[in-house]
């Protein structure tokens, strides 16, 4: 029989088609940007079995205390995974150490999004770091959930892919601090101590603007410093010379503790010392500064310390689980921040369902209306409000504990009004 080359060529072409189809089938089943069991197109970082979530923050270096945020997230994810995951999918956290250095953050942000192909990021730490990577994240459109920065740039005006902060907005917190110092503590002369970077300037600028609303009060001294500074004797002397009624400090934990130690050393203990929550809302500060030194320090919080609400169901779960996963770490402070941020992420994933596109996921946040299913006092989003957190209470360091000293205080992003609960 004569060999027909045409049939042979047709056979080869058909075989190649079948092979390519099979390869594409295998690729699509393993590719994180694939189709779900129900046939809906889903975003990168999602398979039928898993959701990849990214996190950047300092795990080493002078502000490694913030690594407790990562641990809080990891602990909640483990708990969720052991109880069936989210709509049948397990959560996997991919976290890198940027050492609180913006240049490293930018490099690692690209790695998370372009190489690891995470679905979203959660709780990324450090205002200068988040600021450095902001344009990249906005360009990519990847969901940024509860960044651990309260900077104005991420919420006002709202960015389409940035949903909330794991901590109180810095400018909102600063305005509440100032109002409390003047109207509740009777302060007339205000000192501003601030970390001279993108983070510290948020509080500084907010006070400089808000003080105009209080004609009987004035800023008497401004004291900048660096996050890496360890010697604060000159700043303490400058504060002492100005004799303020209240010192509002916007810094990370180590500088906040070191400044208070320098003040205590020269006997400057009378002014009310009010420190931003990211620098004070953790029991570790009693160790960093010394228990007697830190005594009396004011701050703010969006959730209570665990020992103060022993019967709260959500808080009991956090304490039991985090203590199991990290028995050597404290169950108060930044570990709570990570756990609470993860609770919001999980709830949003649950509400989105199987159709996990970025657009659907981001739209889901608009369904949060004072949601109280986490250890936060309440979480609210809308198309115009991406703050997430807008309610807090003042705290004070008392005998080794950080205790609430007010009922919840709320801030209305639309009107700028501060409201004290009765």
Tens of pLDDT along 85-104? Answer: 999 999 999 999 999 999 99
User: What pLDDT, in 10s, does the model give residues 208-219?
Assistant: 999 999 999 999
Name which of 169, 46, 144 is nearest 365 in CA terms.
144
3-class DSSP state for residue 55? Answer: strand
Higher pLDDT, 137 or 25: 137
**pLDDT beyond 60 at 14:** no
Instruction: List the alpha helices (DSSP H) in 147-226.
Output: 170-183, 198-210
Name which of 256, 252, 320 is nearest 286 in CA terms.
256
Ranges 158-167, 278-287, 375-384, 391-400: which has the least confidence: 278-287
Sign of CA dihedral 334, 134, 59, 51: positive
Instruction: Report the chain's mean pLDDT, rounded to a whole number.
Output: 89
Q: Give the position of tokens 């890198």.
A: 96
Q: Say how far apart CA 307 and CA 22 lie, in whole Å.
A: 58
Residue 401, pLDDT score: 87
Q: What's the N-to-C CA distance of the chain in angstroms?
A: 100
What's the length of the chain? 422
Residue 183, pLDDT score: 96
**pLDDT beyond 70 at 392:** yes
Locate 175 and state its tokens: 């305005």
Locate 254 and state its tokens: 């180590």
**Interval 389-415 mean pLDDT:** 89
Helix or strand holding residue 164 (H, E): strand 162-165
Domains of the chain: 50-168+309-389 (3.40.50.2300), 171-301+394-420 (3.40.50.2300)
Locate 61 and state its tokens: 């270096």
**pLDDT beyond 60 at 35:** no
Q: Say how far apart CA 71 and CA 45 lie, in whole Å.
A: 21
User: What pLDDT, in 10s, does the model give residues 169-202?
Assistant: 999 999 999 999 999 999 999 999 999 998 899 9
**pLDDT beyond 50 at 389:** yes
**pLDDT beyond 60 at 32:** no
**pLDDT beyond 60 at 3:** no
Contact (Cβ atoms closer than 8 angstroms) between residue 249 and residue 274: yes
Contact (Cβ atoms closer than 8 angstroms) between residue 48 and residue 54: no
**pLDDT beyond 50 at 11:** no
Contact (Cβ atoms closer than 8 angstroms) between residue 401 and residue 307: yes
State pTM to two decimals. Answer: 0.76
Helix or strand holding residue 93 (H, E): strand 90-97
Locate 374 and state its tokens: 């986490």
**Interval 323-331 mean pLDDT:** 95
- b (16+ CB within 10 A) / e for 312-328: eebbeebbebbbeebee
Residue 191, pLDDT score: 98
Residue 282, pLDDT score: 77
The strand pair at 391-398 and 409-411 is best described as antiparallel
- Percent of the chain having pLDDT more than 70? 90
Residue 244, pLDDT score: 98
Q: Say how far apart CA 91 and CA 81 lie, in whole Å.
A: 7
Backbone φ, ψ for residue 167 (5° rounding): -130, 165
Backbone φ, ψ for residue 230 (5° rounding): -120, -20
Q: Give the position of tokens 């994180």.
A: 32
Residue 40, pLDDT score: 52
The strand pair at 401-404 and 391-398 is best described as antiparallel
**Interval 49-69 mean pLDDT:** 95
Q: Say how far apart CA 29 and CA 17 lie, in whole Å.
A: 18
**Interval 257-286 mean pLDDT:** 93
Burial of 7 (0-12, 13-18, 19+ CB in 10 A): exposed
Locate 408 and state its tokens: 């919840």
The strand pair at 418-420 and 409-411 is best described as antiparallel
């Amino acid at each position: 029989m004569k060999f027909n080359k045409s049939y042979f060529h047709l056979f080869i072409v058909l075989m190649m088609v079948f092979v390519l189809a099979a390869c594409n089938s295998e690729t699509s089943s393993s590719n994180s940007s694939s189709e779900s069991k129900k046939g809906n197109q889903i975003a990168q970082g999602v398979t039928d079995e898993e959701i990849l979530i990214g996190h950047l923050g300092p795990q080493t270096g002078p502000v490694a205390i913030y690594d407790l945020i990562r641990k809080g997230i990891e602990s909640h994810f483990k708990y969720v995974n052991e109880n069936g995951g989210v709509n049948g999918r397990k959560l996997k956290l991919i976290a890198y150490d940027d050492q609180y250095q913006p240049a490293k953050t930018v490099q690692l942000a690209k790695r998370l999004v372009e190489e690891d192909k995470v679905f979203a990021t959660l709780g990324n730490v450090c205002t200068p770091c988040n600021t450095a990577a902001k344009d990249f994240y906005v360009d990519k459109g990847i969901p940024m959930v509860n960044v651990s920065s309260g900077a104005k740039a991420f919420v006002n005006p709202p960015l389409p892919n940035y949903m909330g902060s794991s901590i109180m907005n810095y400018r909102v917190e600063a305005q509440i601090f100032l109002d409390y110092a003047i109207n509740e503590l009777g302060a007339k002369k205000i000192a501003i101590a601030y970390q001279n970077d993108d983070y510290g300037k948020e509080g500084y600028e907010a006070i400089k603007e808000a003080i105009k609303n209080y004609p009987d009060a004035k800023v008497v001294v401004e004291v900048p410093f660096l996050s890496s500074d360890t010697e604060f004797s000159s700043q303490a002397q400058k504060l002492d010379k100005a004799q303020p009624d209240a010192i509002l400090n916007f810094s990370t934990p180590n500088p906040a503790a070191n400044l208070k130690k320098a003040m205590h050393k020269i006997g400057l203990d009378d002014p009310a010392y009010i420190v931003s929550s990211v620098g004070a809302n953790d029991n570790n500060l009693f160790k960093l500064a010394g228990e007697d030194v830190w005594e009396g320090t004011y701050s703010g919080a969006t959730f209570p310390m665990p020992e103060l609400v022993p019967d709260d169901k959500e808080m009991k779960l956090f304490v039991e689980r985090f203590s199991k996963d990290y028995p050597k770490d404290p169950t108060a402070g930044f570990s709570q921040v990570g756990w609470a941020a993860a609770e919001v992420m999980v709830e949003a994933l649950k509400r989105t369902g199987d159709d996990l596109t970025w657009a659907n996921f981001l739209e889901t946040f608009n369904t949060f209306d004072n949601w109280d299913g986490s250890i936060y006092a309440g979480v609210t989003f809308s198309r115009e409000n991406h703050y997430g957190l807008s309610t807090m209470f003042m705290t004070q360091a008392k005998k080794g504990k950080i205790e609430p000293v007010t009922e919840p205080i709320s801030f209305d992003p639309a009107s700028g009004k501060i409201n004290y609960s009765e």
